[in-house]
Chains A and B, each alone.
Chain A
Amino acid sequence: MKRRTLLSGGGAAAATMALSRPGLAQQDKVKVGFIYVGPIGDGGYTYEHNQGRLAVIEHFGDKVETVYQESVPEGADAERAITQMALGGADIIFTTSFGFMDPTINVAKKFPNVKFEHCTGYKRADNVATYAARFYEGRAPCGHIAGKMTKSNKIGYIGAFPIPEVIRGINSAFVHAQRANPDVEFNIIWAYTWFDPAKEADAAQALIEQGCDVIFQHTDSTAPHAAAAKAGDVIAFGQASDMAEYKPSPRVTSIIDVWSPYYIERVQAVMDGTWTSTDTWGGYGAGMVELGEITGPVPDDVKAEALAIRDRIAEGEHAFVGPINKQDGSPWLAEGETPEDGDLLTMDFYVEGIKGDIPS
């Protein structure tokens, strides 16, 4: 009993200490933490977040200290990893995967003086902001290229999980592919992982065997590109990162997440004491998504069209412009209509023309 009292008493005392740490103004360095879902060497999603971290170091130099933990499992382990960073004196912590949402909120309650930034989620608090990139805008020019380039009219798509973010990407790619080529079909495989090179390679292989000659991926490793390279005559798009090692083919272009401006801006806000809980969702226009160099077998006219699509979106045109029907034929967007962000954030349907069901 005595030991228990000691433990909990000590815990309570230390907890109060941790919670009432002196304000940021007295500290010389701002400590910035990052929680990554994959390894920083994944060559994709986590790699780009880590590039953002490196950009923060380069921008602020001695004024910041960064810490990170990679390959953090979602769930109870994430909560501990985030807590540990907060205890270690981090002033702002970026948790960079959807599955870190509840753990981030839980830890944030215990550390009201630490700022938290959760990527791709929807729960916010006074000290929890959310941010994401409009990846689906990146899918638009790629969809166009896919529609123009396919000879078999079959396009393969590897999805991580059937969540709105991924479904949005599929719909965006399909709408633009179909406008370029009314005969396209999408074959979709769900990998149920963000990062598992073996599974991703298997999925790509299966799609190629089904006759797909264009592969989209919404998973984080370069394995689908390796599979495409092996098959020959198959093209693919870099996901989250440029995946430049597969230039000029099979990688013909890429959807690059650019986190550095956002990370620098938010760390600056912490330094200035102007940080508030916000919800940021930027695309081509905000510079949070970039189109990689268009290479290899893509002819010049297709390249020009793809670049034009990107430029129009960057200038404010929506990636989804009606008329677009839902898969069951019911109208979604009327002629010239564009969707609200709320609709996009909860998207749980395919657009008309995509075959198959969303797993549920």
Chain B
Amino acid sequence: MIRLEKRPQPSRGWSYVTPVLAVLVTMVAGGALFAVLGKDPVLAIRTIFYDPLFGEFAWYFRGQLLVKAGPLILIAIGLSLGFRAGIWNIGAEGQYIIGAICGAAVGLALYPMEARWLVFPLMILAGVLGGLGWAMIPAILKTRFNTNEILVSLLLVYVAEQILASMALGLLRNPEGSGFPGSRNLSQYEAAANHELIAGTGMHWGVVAAFIAVIFAYVLLNRHMLGFQIRLTGQSPRAARFAGVRPNRLVLFCLGTAGALAGLAGMFEVSGPSGQITIDFNSGYGFTAIIVAFLGRLHPVGILLAGLLLALTYIGGEAAQSNLGLPAAAIQAFQGMLLFFLLAVDMLTNYRIRIGKSEVA
């Protein structure tokens, strides 16, 4: 008989092994799925996990990996602070959108000024403030009126999407776009463009910001009083209050940081890889980042790796679609499996499997 026994303490060893195990189990189950669809499972797994890193065109895909992972990591780092303290910001997508709109608006307002030293930093500032401001709505509603930040932040995503559509059709529309929606292309406006810093590497300012955010979050959580307060609040809100944590201040800090980082991500995306404010500029980074945060166990280094892994499944998944003719839905199912198995094997960190009869307690 197999039964589960709760570990006295979560196993450190298993907490490192389970993500790897989850990936392996996903490869097996996903391979089976692809085989049922009539594709060579080994080739499919190879296309998703190996080719983007080491295949013929890896020089292109490695860069794309950073482009895709950059915003995910940046947003997830911000979210993880709140999640650790039990503050649930589900609306990073909205903060990302508003950050992009504010950043782009500043750039477009200054068009065609050539002073990059002025335009680009101002855009960054506007992006940060935009995301921060949007996140302050659920934060202040929570601290003043005790509303639920999950609901408020989530619903504000839909408000942000409407604002985005309105901006693409109205205020920020390209005056030379002959009536079509969408702003000027910022990546073609030298002073505002967030180009690759080294051609072909995918490394743009947003990716740099993501790496810096990882380091800052690490230092904050491990070396700083505020980081201690965040962790303590998450583990025991009551104890935290006795230790002098002011919950309202923590709510403002966590939501604010997450909003600012999401806004920053949006600004770097709109001025670089995406280039334009369009009606459907947002492609779900804010929601995917929630998965990245948990996949990385809310740990800065974990988030870095999780962001890269998820980006790999996206990019490899696209390659599998176009090279092997796999349907998009199969790739989504595959990504879903990864998360499902991660949560499933996660049990092993908290429980151990015992084979045999249970001892009398």
Chain A residues in the interface with B (C-beta under 8 A): 4, 7-8, 10-12, 14-15, 18, 33, 39-40, 67-71, 73-77, 79-81, 83-85, 87-88, 98-99, 102, 122, 161-164, 192-193, 345-348, 359-360
What are 25 A-B interface contacts by the 8 Å CB criterion?
A7-B62, A11-B63, A11-B199, A11-B200, A12-B200, A67-B323, A68-B322, A70-B327, A71-B328, A73-B280, A75-B274, A75-B283, A77-B318, A84-B318, A84-B322, A98-B180, A102-B276, A161-B169, A161-B279, A162-B181, A192-B161, A192-B165, A345-B178, A346-B178, A359-B166
Q: Is B269 part of the binding interface, using a Cβ–Cβ cutoff of 8 Å? A: yes
CB within 8 Å for A73 and B283 given contacts A39-B329, A161-B181:
yes
Q: Is the CB of B275 within 8 A of A7?
A: no
**Residue in B57, B280, B281 whose beta carbon sits within 8 Å of that of A87 in the complex:** B57
Q: Is B109 part of the binding interface, using a Cβ–Cβ cutoff of 8 Å? A: no
Q: Is the CB of B323 within 8 A of A162?
A: no
- In the complex, residue of chain B having the shortest beta-carbon distance to the beta carbon of A347: B179
CB within 8 Å for A348 and B201 given contacts A70-B328, A76-B273:
no
CB within 8 Å for A4 and B179 given contacts A79-B273, A359-B169:
no
List chain B residues, Cβ under 8 A from A164. 178-180
Q: Is the CB of A80 within 8 A of B200?
A: no
Q: Tell me the total A-B contact number using a CB cutoff of 8 A.
A: 117
Q: Is B262 part of the binding interface, using a Cβ–Cβ cutoff of 8 Å? A: no
Q: Is the CB of A81 within 8 A of B279?
A: no
CB within 8 Å for A14 and B318 given contacts A163-B179, A163-B180:
no
Q: Is the CB of B278 within 8 A of A88?
A: no
**Residue in B179, B279, B315, B329 whose beta carbon sits within 8 Å of that of A348 in the complex:** B179
List chain A residues, Cβ under 8 A from B315. 80
Q: Is B67 part of the binding interface, using a Cβ–Cβ cutoff of 8 Å? A: yes
Q: Is the CB of A346 within 8 A of B179?
A: yes
Count of chain B residues with a beta carbon within 8 Å of a chain A beta carbon: 42
Q: Is B319 part of the binding interface, using a Cβ–Cβ cutoff of 8 Å? A: yes
- How far, in whole Å, are A192 and B180 apart by their CA atoms in the complex? 14
**Residue in B64, B178, B278, B283 whose beta carbon sits within 8 Å of that of A122 in the complex:** B178
List chain B residues, Cβ under 8 A from A81. 318, 322
- In the complex, residue of chain A having the shortest beta-carbon distance to the beta carbon of B52: A84
Q: Is B335 part of the binding interface, using a Cβ–Cβ cutoff of 8 Å? A: no
List chain A residues, Cβ under 8 A from B112. none
Q: Is B313 part of the binding interface, using a Cβ–Cβ cutoff of 8 Å? A: no
| Complex interface bits, B274-307 against A, C-beta within 8 A gives 1, otherwise 0 | 1110111101000000000000000000000000
Closest 5 CB pairs of A and B: A11-B200, A76-B273, A11-B59, A69-B322, A360-B170
- How far, in whole Å, are A274 and B322 apart by their CA atoms in the complex? 27
List chain A residues, Cβ under 8 A from B325. 67-68
The smallest beta-carbon distance between B316 and chain A, in angstroms, is 11
List chain A residues, Cβ under 8 A from B59. 7, 10-11, 14-15
The smallest beta-carbon distance between B285 and chain A, in angstroms, is 10
Q: Is the CB of A8 within 8 A of B318?
A: no
Q: Is the CB of A11 within 8 A of B280?
A: no
The smallest beta-carbon distance between A263 and chain B, in angstroms, is 17
The smallest beta-carbon distance between A225 and chain B, in angstroms, is 22
Q: Is the CB of A163 within 8 A of B178?
A: no
Q: Is B185 part of the binding interface, using a Cβ–Cβ cutoff of 8 Å? A: yes
List chain B residues, Cβ under 8 A from A83. 60
Q: Is B148 part of the binding interface, using a Cβ–Cβ cutoff of 8 Å? A: no
- In the complex, residue of chain B having the shortest beta-carbon distance to the beta carbon of A80: B64
Q: Is the CB of A33 within 8 A of B322?
A: yes
Q: Is B321 part of the binding interface, using a Cβ–Cβ cutoff of 8 Å? A: yes
Q: Is B2 part of the binding interface, using a Cβ–Cβ cutoff of 8 Å? A: no
Q: Is the CB of B201 within 8 A of A8?
A: yes
Q: Is the CB of B201 within 8 A of A76?
A: no
List chain B residues, Cβ under 8 A from A99. 278, 280
- How far, in whole Å, are A69 and B321 apart by their CA atoms in the complex? 6
**Residue in B170, B180, B185, B200 whose beta carbon sits within 8 Å of that of A15 in the complex:** B200
List chain A residues, Cβ under 8 A from B318. 69, 77, 80-81, 84
- How far, in whole Å, are A7 and B54 apart by their CA atoms in the complex? 12
Q: Is B361 part of the binding interface, using a Cβ–Cβ cutoff of 8 Å? A: no
